[in-house]
Structure 1
Amino acid sequence: MMYLKAVLVVASLFFTAVTYAQPIDLKIKKNKVIAKIELAGGVETDLELSFENSLGLTKDSIGITAELVDITDPALLSRLPSALTTTPAAFPMMITIEPPASMGLGFNGVTHIDIHTHNLEYTPNTPLRLYKASLGQDFRDITVTTGAGSWRARGHMGDFSQFIVVTDLRTSGTVINAKLNRLQTLLTSYSNQMDTVTATSLSDKYNELASAVSQQDYSQALVHATEFNDIVSSNRGENIPDVWRSSRDITNVAGELMAQVETLSFSLRLAL
């Protein structure tokens, strides 16, 4: 069991001068990372990362930092998908997970990220969501569950980068279509990294899923989403690459596809 005390330099909410954050307490055990993050102004969260299988996971290799953000900053707002998506004033925290390339961290498949904060309150049908982005790129919803205990959420991912909590007031149809479109983009981009039979099976299943969504038959769409995930899961490692490495020399195709269809399934369930 190992602990890390990291002093973070963070921007204050409304000023450019930097202040020193309270420490991050970091515990690493086998395939799990447990962190308590405390920033200025009482902005706090418990963070947990769970890996199916990891290699080289240490306090130095995971690369977790956090900062306060100005929720009115145009640069931040431009990274959100809509004017109906905003960062809650009670939790203006951005977490960055960028493992150093030279530290040899790797994992297989999907990684789970769990956020739990007392700064936010859970209510039924809460619009609070967990968002993720590559460094400096657009944020997107990766939520797969939300729950009580103040407020908690889980997301799935096939790689790392930046995370924020967002109040998402878009309609369920808008969210579902956005997630479906991203799934298509990923499938198109990664089809040349799979064998032909697997790529064709996933393309056919995606078309069935998209057809059900277009008819707003979300129950049937959920069935097809599960079947899509099953195809990826049964072919990962052999016919679909499923490894992420800190050297960033390969793409965790299976992890990305499974994470995307799982957050789509979350939104489909909410729309039933």
Structure 2
Amino acid sequence: MKVMAATAIFFSTFSFASEPLSVNVQGNKVEVFIHLPGNISADLTLQFENAVGLTKESLGLTAELIDVSSLDIIDRLPNGLNITPAAAFPMMITIEPKPNTGFSFSGVATVDLHTHNLEYTAGTPFRFFKAPLNGEFKDITETLGSGSLRTRGSTGRFSQFIIVADLRAPLVVIQQKFNDLQTALNEFSPQINAAVYSELLQDVNDINQLISTQDYNLASNKLNEFNRRINDNRGINIPDVWRSSRDIRNIAGELMAFSKTLRFSLRLIK
């Protein structure tokens, strides 16, 4: 019975505010099929390294149509003049796990989104953004795929997700993402082993220097080293678990997520 419970597949179709979602949970993977009014649709895949208590009920997943011109959305973007929600894909997906479900995961959660409502072309401004519930949206894009739009991001905690058209200059984006990484590392320093923190801080300083000298390829490689250092120390010297009770921070997951999206932007110009 325990084996059957561990490998069970949960599949259901249900509605939030009359908006249908189909959710398939198998092990550490969640597949979500969303179809909203106006033929606005998407496939969403969540992949966890190791999840506990993962069910469709514990995820707290909803999807809704948004007014892309609403100040409620625009004011949550880093720059409302150069970043606008994708008009042809006015969908916001919210994943807000319920506190008392016992759901937790370690490391990075990977989020893949695919929609036929948008088309990828070379140089597309479309980007994958996420925000804490009702908070500021930030770019988490790690990949973009050709054809109907496919994109990937990662996170160490849960969020709201939208697709935007981001017309900011590449170097502006890179500087913002670097600042986010640096700020997060400084914020988390009391919870990271002191020796490991010093090494990570040196990595970040090196990355900053390489960006300032336009050595984008070396900066990208240094980010790989930064991620490997986190991965080697996670769970021991760096906390790496998120819980629905929200009593601890998944520091390893959050730092790696910041690093991965910065690497994506560096690769666009290197």
| TM-score of the alignment, normalized to the shorter chain, above 0.5 | yes
1:8-23 matches, cutoff 5 A = 8-9=16-17, 20-21=18-19, 23=20
Give the aligned residue type for 2:14. Answer: A
Q: 1:175 aligns with which of 148, 173, 176?
A: 173
Amino acid aligned to 1:85: I
Matches within 5 A, 1:37-48: 37-48=34-45
Q: Distance in 1 between matches of 2:77 and 2:171?
A: 17
**Aligned residue among 20, 24, 27 for 1:27:** 24
Q: Which residue of 2 aligns with 1:2?
A: 10
Of 83, 86, 104 in structure 2, the residue corresponding to residue 85 of structure 1 is: 83
The percentage of counterpart residues that share the same residue type is 49
Match of 1:64 in 2: 61
The alpha-carbon deviation at position 192 of structure 1 amounts to: 0.6
Instruction: Quote the offset at 1:72 in angstroms.
Output: 0.5
- Give the Cα–Cα distance (whole angstroms) in 1 for the partners of residues 173 and 231 of structure 2: 24
Structure 1 stretches lacking a partner, 5+ long? 10-19
Give matches, 1:214-233, under 5 Å.
214-233=212-231
The partner residue of 1:161 within 159, 162, 170 is 159
In the other structure, the counterpart of 1:142 is: 140
Structure 2: runs of 5+ lacking an equivalent: 1-8
Question: TM-score, normalised on structure 1?
Answer: 0.94
Alpha-carbon distance, 1:126 to partner: 1.3
Match of 1:199? 197
Native 8 Å contact 2:121 2:147 kept in 1: no
How far 1:6 moved relative to its partner? Answer: 2.1
Tell me the amino acid that sits aligned with residue 177 of structure 1.
Q
- 2:27 and 2:222 map into 1 onto residues whose CA distance is 34
- Whole-Å separation in 1 of the counterparts to 2:216 and 2:25: 39
SS in 2 for 1:208: helix
- Alpha-carbon shift at residue 149 of structure 1 (Å): 3.8
Separation (CA, whole Å) in 2 of partners of 1:149 and 1:54: 32
Tell me the residue number matched to 1:50.
47
Aligned-residue offset at 1:238: 0.5
SS in structure 2 opposite 1:107? strand
How far 1:92 sits from its partner (Å)? 0.3
Match of 1:267 among 236, 247, 265: 265
- Report the equivalent of 1:111: 109
Quote the residue 1:74 is aligned against. 71
Structure-2 residue corresponding to 1:17: none
- What is the Cα deviation at residue 115 of structure 1? 0.3
Deviating 4+ runs (over 2 angstroms): none
Please tell me the residue identity of whatever aligns with 2:210.
A
Deviation of 1:4 (Å): 2.4
TM-score by length of 2: 0.95
Shift of 1:5: 2.1
The secondary structure found in structure 2 opposite 1:48 is strand
* CA distance in structure 1 between the partners assigned to 2:224 and 2:11 by the alignment: 38
Counterpart of 1:6, as a letter, is F
- Alignment partner for residue 238 of structure 1, among 236, 239, 245? 236
Give the count of matched residue pairs.
261
Matches of 1:239 and 1:84 in 2, distance apart?
A: 39
